[in-house]
Structures are given as C-alpha cells and as structure tokens.
C-alpha cells in the first residue's frame, strides 16, 4: 500500500482573502502535478524549493492559484479564501487520492515533540500577542529545558535544585492556565452604585445598559478584553439586595454564581455614602458570603465626581480605588490594579510556563515525588509531560 498523501487546510475555516492548503507525503508532488497547470508550462517537478509558481487549478479556466514547494514532501497551494474556493481545491486533491486530515491531526503526526505540539495548539487559541509570545517560548523549548534540568537534578539526588526548578515553573501556573482562557473578573455591589457604567468605561463603549433606576442589570453581561496583554472576561452583574421581584431575584442568583466562579471580584461602592458605612455594610455581608472570603477583591469607590473633594470620601484603606465612570477618572488605575492582582509577577521572556491543566497536575505530582525523594516517580511524571 502506498503511503498516504495528506491534504490539510492550514488557514482557519471561514471567509478570508487567501487560504492555504498543504499537501504532504512522499507522493505530494505527483498528486499536485495532476491538478495544477502552471502558466509557465514548466512541470512543477523542475521547480526549486521555496519558489512559487502561478497557474490554474484543474482546467484551463480553473481557479488561479499559487503553488510553492516547501520541502521535498510538502507543497502549499495558496488560493482564494472563500469557503467554496478552498473546497474546490481540496476536493480535486481528494478525488485523485489525497486524504484529508485536520491541521491538529497533521501536527500530532508530524511533530516529534508533544510539548511543542501542545504549544502550537494553544497558540491557535491565544487571544493576545503577549499570551502568544509566552506560548511561543514554550514551543521553542523553555518548559522542556527546565523540566529536563529538574530530571537531571533528581537523577543526581540534588533535591534542592530539583525542587527549586519545579517551584519556579509552578509560580506561573495561574498565568499559564489563563493564556488561552480569560481570567474572570466580576463587578459586584449594591444596586445603582455604577457597576454597569464602570464596565462601559473600562470597555470604551456602551456594552451594558445604564439607568438611574436601581435594579437595572438583571443578566450577567460579559465582555472580553485584555488588560496588560492578559485576556480578561469582565462581567457586570445585578446589584445585590434582597429580591424586589422574581426577575431581580433571578438576576441576583446569577450574580452569586458569577461571583463563585470569579478569579477576582471588583466590589463597587458609592463614594457619596462614605467609606466607613460601606465597610460596616461590607463586613456584615462578608460574614454571610463565604465564597467572597476566599476571593481576591479590589474595592472601588465610584462617583467621586459627586464629592466636593477626595477627602470627603473619608479615610479609606490603601488599595481602595477612587473612580468616576462619568469623567473617566481612576479608570486607568483600576485597570492597572486588576492587571497587577491577576498577574503580580509576569514571566520574563524565555521563562518556563506550564500551560495545560495536565502539565500543572503533573508538576504537582513531581513536587510530591521530589519531597519524597523518589527519583523514579519524578522521572515517570516529568517524562509524561516531555515525551
């Protein structure tokens, strides 16, 4: 049986200007030659590597495409990006013996390094250049190198070095697990304090309905954004008070769920109420709300534009942020503060960062094995990540 010739759509599905289809396998060249008519009339087998050829796909009046030999067994076809154009190019290859596989399957079979492969999958889901850069470092071996160092240390009974290496990697577990999955930040507080207005200010557009009526927000309104290059999902919620009506109570219940799931809570207060009464109220509530006690919370005093002077807010603890959703004052500080709380220490370029739950779980097991001075277990666990 001849080795299969794979046909892989490299560009994401959907409409775009240009799409790229890869043909890979020892018979890639003859397969493409059957489908492609170069304008030059020169057979593509004569074409040097990495040179491009323009021509028609199929018949003389077929789709115009650009073909490039990337290596002896890999040829790229660059065609129009419309869904039908890509389909037509691929169908012709498949009819003539090509076997379609997904880019994920292709990467899995063609990469010798599973960790690098996982990094490439994750990169496709990285929403910002900053997160993609961290993943690119892992693709280039940042994590593998450090894991090998830990293995080496454990093998020579240098337990302290092994432990330090693992700890240094694990300090970035939260950052790593949020490279492709946004941090969840939830705005909460009493009705009418300006939660929706703050969400809109942070977004820079009117995402949530604002009104002078307390109890305006009922659903959880989310918004994906980036703070300092870290992906963040901001959620605005119903103001929390004993339910007025059924609908508002339902909103409050949704808000409670969002709070439970959040990695960070932004507790919004009305500055005109004075911080001490707010704190008293907050303490009473915190007792009732166990979930909140485990959370990282940033306190915000909003509507400071209504105060004659900042001093009028009274003495407030360090770290409380004063904002006005109306004038935009304090919004930049609030965003910066959220960034600092979520990622207090950003990984330096080239740092080893674990980026899947499986990797983090294995590193936790490795830490236990190191504490137990069990070199064989360290080896098994770390090799499961590397190879």
Ligand X SMILES: Nc1nc2c(ncn2[C@@H]2O[C@H](COP(=O)(O)OP(=O)(O)OP(=O)(O)O)[C@@H](O)[C@H]2O)c(=O)[nH]1
Q: Which is nearer to ligand X, 165 or 217 (CB)?
A: 217
* Residue span binding ligand X (CB under 6 A) among the ranges 54-62, 149-157, 212-220, 370-378: 212-220
Among 29, 31, 53, 210, interactor with ligand X by CB under 6 A: 210
Segment interacting with ligand X (CB under 6 A) among 155-163, 171-179, 207-215, 334-342: 207-215
Q: Could you say whether residue 239 binds ligand X (CB under 6 A)?
A: yes
- Number of amino acids touching Mg ion (CB under 5 A): 4
Would you count residue 306 as binding ligand X (CB under 6 A)?
Answer: yes
In the range 34-63, which residues lie near Mg ion by CB under 5 A? none
Q: Which does 194 bind (CB under 5 to 8 A by kind): ligand X, Mg ion, none?
A: ligand X
Q: Does 192 bind Mg ion (CB under 5 A)?
A: no
128 binds, among Mg ion, ligand X, none (CB under 5 to 8 A by kind): none
Closest approach of Mg ion to the CB of residue 240, in Å: 11
User: Could you tell me how many residues of this chain bind ligand X (CB under 6 A)?
Assistant: 23
The dihedral over CA atoms of 201, 203, 209, 214, expressed in degrees to the nearest 10, equals: -50
Query: In this chain, which residue has its C-beta nearest to Mg ion?
Result: 217
Contact positions with ligand X (CB under 6 A) in 163-202: 191-197
Contact of residue 282 among Mg ion, ligand X, none (CB under 5-8 Å per partner type)? none
Name the one range near Mg ion by CB under 5 A: 33-41, 191-199, 296-304, 337-345.
Answer: 191-199
């Amino acid at each position: 049986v001849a080795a299969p010739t794979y046909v892989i759509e490299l560009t994401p599905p959907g409409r775009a200007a240009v799409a790229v289809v890869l043909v890979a396998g020892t018979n890639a060249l003859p397969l493409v030659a059957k489908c492609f008519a170069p304008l030059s009339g020169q057979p593509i087998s004569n074409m040097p590597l990495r040179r491009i050829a323009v021509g028609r796909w199929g018949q003389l009046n077929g789709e115009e495409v650009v073909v490039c030999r990337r290596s002896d067994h890999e040829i790229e076809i660059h065609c129009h990006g419309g869904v039908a154009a890509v389909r037509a190019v691929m169908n012709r290859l498949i009819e003539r013996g090509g076997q379609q596989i997904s880019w994920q399957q292709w990467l899995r079979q063609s990469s010798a390094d599973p960790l690098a492969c996982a990094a490439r999958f994750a990169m496709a889901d990285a929403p910002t250049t900053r997160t993609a850069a961290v993943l690119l470092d892992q693709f280039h071996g940042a994590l593998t190198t450090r894991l090998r160092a830990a293995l080496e240390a454990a093998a020579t009974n240098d337990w302290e070095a092994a432990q330090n290496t693992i700890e240094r990697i694990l300090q970035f577990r939260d950052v790593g697990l949020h490279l492709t999955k946004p941090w969840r930040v939830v705005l909460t507080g009493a009705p009418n304090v300006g939660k929706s207005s703050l969400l809109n200010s942070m977004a820079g557009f009117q995402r949530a309905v604002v009104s002078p009526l307390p109890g305006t927000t009922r659903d959880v309104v989310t918004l994906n954004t980036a703070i300092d290059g870290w992906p963040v999902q901001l959620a605005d919620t119903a103001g929390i008070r004993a339910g007025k009506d059924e609908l508002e109570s339902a909103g409050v219940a949704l808000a409670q769920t969002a709070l439970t799931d959040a990695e960070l809570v932004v507790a919004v207060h009305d500055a005109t109420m004075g911080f001490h009464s707010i704190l008293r109220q907050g303490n009473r509530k915190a007792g009732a709300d166990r979930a909140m006690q485990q959370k990282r919370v940033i306190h915000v005093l909003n509507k400071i534009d209504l105060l004659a002077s900042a001093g009028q807010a009274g003495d407030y603890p360090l770290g409380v942020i004063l904002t006005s959703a109306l004038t935009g004052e304090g919004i930049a500080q609030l965003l910066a503060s959220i960034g600092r709380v979520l990622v207090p220490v950003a990984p330096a370029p080239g740092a080893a960062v674990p980026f899947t739950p499986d990797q983090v779980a294995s590193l936790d097991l490795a830490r236990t094995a190191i504490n137990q001075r069990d070199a064989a277990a360290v080896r098994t666990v770390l090799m499961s990540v590397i190879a």
